[in-house]
C-alpha cells in the first residue's frame, strides 16, 4: 500500500465515518466543557486526556501561510558544551505561560507578548541532560494557585503568582521523589521527566530511573498537593500477596528495578481513573534474573486515582529485553466501533503499534494476536515465547529490516549496509539481543516517541510522528562471577561504564559519552572519582557502588597494576548480570544517513473508527539530498504534533529545525518556518483577546544540532 497519497477507498470511508460521527453527535461524549471552549492550554499535552488538540479555529488551511513569529523569549540558560535541550510543552492559563529552561529553571511569561513575570531557580546542580523537563502541573483552589515541577530528585510547589516556594508543602516547598521507593533508593538515580497529573487534592507522579542493574523501582506515588504528604503508592513490581507477584521470580521486588512511568499519564476525571504507561524492567537487555511475564512492566495500567488501586492492565510486551518502554501518555478517545460509541484508550508504542482499548475494561477493540517469536541463546535468559500484535490499526512504522528495504540513496550506501546486514540478526520482530548484533527496528527511539500523538475530537483520527531508524544492539559477556578477568576493575567497568563509553574506552560516536582513553591526560583520579560520585552531563551518579568497586574501577581506568586490589565485594546486582552491551548505536550508511530505505521520519493519520491509516507523509528534509534529486526522505524527529479545529496539524520535531503545518485531511504541507534551534518538543495552542497563538520550545541539542534557549510564538498578522 502506498501511504504517500490518499487511498481513494480509505478517503471515502473516512468521509463516511465523519458523517456517522456528526449524525450521532458523539465526537467525544465525555469531553468536558473546558475542552470544547478551551482558549488556553491548561494541562501538559493540552488536557487530562493527552489529546494534543485545540478547539481554536482562527488559523485555518486558507490563512496559515500568513503565520509569522510575534514574540521570542530567550531563557539565557544554555550550555553549548553539554548540548542542552528544551523538551517542555508549556501550559497557558489565564494568559500566563509557564515553562522551563534548558537547565530547569521554571518561569512565567505574559503569553501575549513573551515578557517574563517571574523565574525560579531550584538552586541545585541539576544534571539536565539526564533530567530533561517536559512540563509543569497546575492546581488551584480558592485563592491558592500552585505550579508543580521537578528538578533532580525533587518535586517543587511554587506560588503561581510569584514563583516563590509554598513553604507549607513538604519541606519549605519541596518533597523527595525517592519517597516510597524503599531504603535502597536513597543513593539511586531517580528524577522525573514528565509532569504529574492533578486529581482533586493529589498530584500523581511517575519517575525516570536507571536502565541498568542498579535501577531503583519505578513505583507510582500520589502526594497531597497542599501538604506534600505521600498518600498512596502502587508497586509496579508486585510484592508478596499483590496481583502479578507470580509473574516474577520469588522476592524479585527486593532486587529488581525499573517498571517506571517516565512518559507521563492521562486522567479520566469523571471516572476517577488514571491511565499510566510503564517501561521495561531493568536491566533492559537481559532478564535471566527476572524470568517470567514481569507485570506491570510495559503495561497500560488503569488505577483508581483516589486510592492507587488497580482497575485493569494491558501488557504490550511480555518479559521485555528490547527496551520497549511505552513512550507517551495514552490518548483518551471516543470511537464509533461496531455501530456503538465507545470511550477508549489509544496507546502508541516504540514498535509503531497502536493498541486501542476499552476505557472501562482494558479489552482490545480490535483483535490482538499472540504470535511466536524467536528464543534467546544468551546464558540464563528465557525470552517469552509469544508477543502481542494488534491486527488493526496496521503499524505506522515498518517492522523489519531486510535486503528488500535497505537504503537505496546510492550504490555505495546500499553495498555497505548489505555487507553488515549479512552478519547481524534481523528479518523479524522481537529477535532477542545477541553477541552477533541484533537489529532493533524500529529503533530505540521508535516508532512512536515521547512527543505523543494528537487526537482530533472532531473525527476520531489520531496523528502520530514516527522514526524509521534501525539500531544495532550487540551484547558482550562480562567476566563471570568467581573468575579473574585481565584486570579486577574490568568487570565493574563492563557493567557500569562500557554501555556508554565503549568496551575499549572508545566512547560512543555521535553521542554525549566521550572516550576514556588516556584519561590521565585530561583529569586527575580525584576529579574522575568526583564525577563518579556526583554525575556530570549525561552521566548519572554512581555513588551506589561500593568503595572497593570504585577503587578497582579507578585502577582499571588509569592503567594501574592489579597486585594490591582484588575482586571481592562487587555488589550482587552486578554479579547477577552476566552481560553488558556496546552502547546505543544507530545503523547508518557511510554518509551518516539511516541504513533503511526512506522515508526516515513520517507523520501519519490513523482513523481509529476504521482502524486504518488514512495517509502518511515524510516529516523533515535533508536539503543536500533533495538537491541530489532524491525525493524528500523525512528525518529523525523528537517532539509531537498538535491538531486544531482549524483543520491543521502543527509539528516541529524534525532534524532540519523547521516548524510545519499540515492539512489534517490530506497530509499536504501548507506552511513551514526555520526555527532558531530545533523544536524538539510538542507545541501548545492558545488564544488571548481573540488572537490565536501557537508556541514551540526551540531547545535544539538533539541529533548533533546546536542547542537553543528560545520559546517562539506565532500568530496571524493583526488587521
Q: Are 92 and 40 in contact (CB under 8 A)?
A: yes
What distance in Å separates the CA atoms of residue 285 and residue 288, rounded to the nearest whole number?
A: 10
d(CA 322, CA 297): 12
Q: How far is Cα of residue 645 from the mean position of the Cα atoms in its chain?
A: 26
Nearest to 381 by CA among 576, 570, 250, 571: 576
Grid cell, residue 282, equals: 531493568
> Are the CB atoms for 329 and 384 separated by under 8 Å?
no
> Of the candidates 563, 567, 641, which has an alpha carbon nearest to the alpha carbon of residue 602?
641
Helices (H), 375-489: 411-421
DSSP strands (E only) in 350-412: 354-358, 368-372, 386-390
Model pLDDT, residue 379: 94
Identify the pLDDT of residue 499.
55
Cα-Cα-Cα-Cα torsion 135, 141, 146, 147, nearest 10 degrees, comes to 0
What pLDDT is stored for residue 23 in this prediction?
36
- The pLDDT of residue 571: 38
Q: Could you give the CA distance from residue 696 to residue 88 in angstroms, rounded to a whole number?
A: 9
Is the C-alpha dihedral spanning 13, 394, 311, 307 positive or negative?
negative
* pLDDT of 577: 85
Q: CB neighbours (10 Å) of residue 363?
A: 12
pLDDT at residue 306 in the model: 98
191: Cβ–Cβ under 8 A, 6 or more apart, which residues?
A: 127, 130, 131, 150, 152, 153, 177, 207, 208
Mean per-residue pLDDT pooled into runs of 10, the chain (719 residues) = 39 40 35 61 98 98 98 88 88 98 96 98 71 95 96 96 98 97 92 97 97 94 98 98 98 96 98 98 96 98 98 98 98 97 98 98 98 97 98 98 97 94 96 96 96 98 98 86 58 68 70 77 88 70 73 84 37 64 89 97 98 98 97 98 98 98 98 98 98 98 93 95
Q: How many residues appear in the chain?
A: 719
Bridge partners, residue 53, by sequence:
643
SS3 category, 318? coil
Q: Where in the chain is the domain with CATH 1.10.760.10?
A: 479-576
How is residue 315 written as a grid cell?
501488557
**Burial (CB count within 10 angstroms: exposed 0-12, middle 13-18, buried 19+), residue 186:** middle
Q: In what order do the strands lie in the sheet with 642-644?
A: 53-54, 642-644, 648-651, 658-663, 669-674
Domain 479-576: assigned CATH number: 1.10.760.10
Q: d(Cα 154, Cα 196) in Å, to the nearest integer? A: 12
Confidence (pLDDT) at 129: 59
Give the per-residue pLDDT at 489: 77
Amino acid at each position: 500500500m502506498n501511504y504517500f497519497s490518499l487511498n481513494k477507498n480509505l478517503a471515502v470511508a473516512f468521509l463516511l465515518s465523519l458523517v456517522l460521527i456528526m449524525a450521532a453527535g458523539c465526537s467525544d461524549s465525555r469531553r468536558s466543557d473546558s475542552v470544547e471552549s478551551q482558549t488556553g492550554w491548561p494541562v501538559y499535552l493540552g488536557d487530562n486526556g493527552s489529546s494534543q488538540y485545540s478547539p481554536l479555529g482562527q488559523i485555518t488551511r486558507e490563512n496559515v501561510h500568513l503565520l509569522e513569529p510575534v514574540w521570542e523569549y530567550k531563557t539565557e540558560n544554555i550550555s553549548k558544551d553539554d548540548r542542552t535541550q528544551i523538551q517542555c510543552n508549556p501550559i497557558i492559563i489565564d494568559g500566563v505561560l509557564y515553562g522551563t529552561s534548558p537547565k530547569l529553571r521554571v518561569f512565567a511569561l505574559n503569553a501575549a507578548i513573551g515578557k517574563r513575570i517571574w523565574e525560579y531557580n531550584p538552586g541545585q546542580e541539576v544534571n539536565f541532560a539526564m533530567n530533561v523537563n517536559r512540563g509543569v502541573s497546575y492546581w488551584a483552589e480558592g485563592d491558592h494557585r500552585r505550579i508543580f515541577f521537578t528538578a533532580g530528585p525533587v518535586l517543587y510547589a511554587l506560588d503561581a503568582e510569584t514563583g516563590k516556594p509554598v513553604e507549607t508543602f513538604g519541606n519549605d516547598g519541596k518533597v523527595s521523589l525517592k519517597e516510597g521507593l524503599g531504603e535502597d533508593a536513597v543513593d539511586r538515580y531517580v528524577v522525573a521527566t514528565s509532569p504529574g497529573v492533578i486529581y482533586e487534592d493529589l498530584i500523581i507522579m511517575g519517575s525516570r530511573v536507571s536502565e541498568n542493574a542498579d535501577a531503583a523501582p519505578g513505583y507510582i506515588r500520589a502526594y497531597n498537593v497542599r501538604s506534600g504528604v505521600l498518600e498512596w503508592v502502587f508497586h509496579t513490581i508486585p510484592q508478596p500477596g499483590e496481583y502479578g507477584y507470580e509473574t516474577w521470580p520469588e522476592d524479585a521486588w527486593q532486587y529488581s528495578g525499573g517498571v517506571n512511568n517516565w512518559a507521563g499519564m492521562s486522567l479520566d476525571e469523571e471516572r476517577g481513573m488514571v491511565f499510566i504507561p510503564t517501561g521495561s524492567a531493568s536491566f533492559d537487555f537481559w532478564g535471566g534474573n527476572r524470568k517470567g511475564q514481569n507485570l506491570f512492566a510495559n503495561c497500560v495500567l488503569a488505577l483508581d486515582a483516589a486510592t492507587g488501586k488497580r482497575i485493569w492492565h494491558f501488557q504490550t510486551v511480555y518479559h521485555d529485553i528490547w527496551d520497549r518502554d511505552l513512550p507517551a501518555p495514552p490518548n483518551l478517545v471516543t470511537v464509533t466501533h461496531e455501530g456503538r460509541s465507545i470511550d477508549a484508550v489509544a496507546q502508541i508504542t516504540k514498535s509503531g503499534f497502536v493498541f486501542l482499548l476499552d476505557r472501562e475494561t482494558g479489552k482490545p477493540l480490535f483483535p490482538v494476536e499472540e504470535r511466536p517469536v524467536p528464543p534467546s541463546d544468551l546464558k540464563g535468559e528465557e525470552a517469552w515465547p509469544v508477543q502481542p500484535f494488534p491486527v488493526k490499526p496496521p503499524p505506522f512504522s515498518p517492522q523489519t529490516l531486510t535486503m528488500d528495504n535497505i537504503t537505496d540513496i546510492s550504490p555505495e550506501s546500499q553495498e555497505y549496509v548489505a555487507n553488515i546486514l549479512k552478519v547481524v540478526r534481523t528479518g523479524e520482530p522481537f529477535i532477542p539481543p545477541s553477541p552477533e548484533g541484533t537489529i532493533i527496528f524500529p529503533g530505540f527511539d521508535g516508532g512512536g516517541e515521547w512527543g505523543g500523538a494528537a487526537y482530533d475530537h472532531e473525527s476520531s483520527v489520531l496523528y502520530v510522528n514516527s522514526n524509521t531508524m534501525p539500531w544495532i544492539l550487540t551484547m558482550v559477556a562480562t567476566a563471570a562471577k568467581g573468575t579473574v578477568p585481565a584486570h579486577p576493575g574490568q568487570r565493574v567497568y563492563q557493567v557500569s561504564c562500557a554501555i556508554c563509553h565503549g568496551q575499549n574506552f572508545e566512547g560512543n560516536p555521535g553521542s554525549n559519552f566521550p572516550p576514556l582513553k588516556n584519561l590521565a591526560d585530561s583529569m586527575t583520579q580525584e576529579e574522575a572519582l568526583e564525577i563518579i560520585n556526583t554525575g556530570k552531563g549525561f552521566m548519572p551518579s554512581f555513588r551506589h557502588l561500593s568503595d572497593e568497586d570504585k577503587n578497582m574501577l579507578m585502577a582499571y581506568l588509569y592503567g594501574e597494576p592489579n597486585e594490591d586490589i582484588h575482586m571481592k565485594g562487587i555488589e550482587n546486582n552486578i554479579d547477577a548480570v552476566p552481560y553488558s552491551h556496546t552502547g546505543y548505536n544507530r545503523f547508518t550508511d557511510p554518509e551518516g544517513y539511516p541504513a533503511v530505505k526512506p522515508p526516515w521520519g513520517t507523520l501519519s493519520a490513523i482513523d481509529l473508527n476504521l482502524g486504518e491509516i488514512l495517509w502518511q507523509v515524510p516529516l523533515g528534509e535533508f536539503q543536500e539530498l533533495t538537491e541530489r534529486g532524491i525525493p524528500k526522505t523525512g528525518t529523525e524527529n523528537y517532539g509531537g504534533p498538535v491538531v486544531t479545529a482549524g483543520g491543521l496539524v502543527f509539528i516541529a520535531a524534525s532534524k532540519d529545525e523547521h516548524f510545519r503545518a499540515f492539512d489534517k485531511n490530506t497530509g499536504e504541507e501548507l506552511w513551514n518556518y526555520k526555527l532558531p534551534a530545533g523544536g524538539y518538543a510538542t507545541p501548545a495552542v492558545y488564544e488571548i483577546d481573540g488572537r490565536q497563538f501557537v508556541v514551540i520550545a526551540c531547545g535544539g541539542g538533539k541529533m548533533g544540532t546546536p542547542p537553543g534557549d528560545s520559546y517562539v510564538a506565532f500568530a496571524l498578522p493583526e488587521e
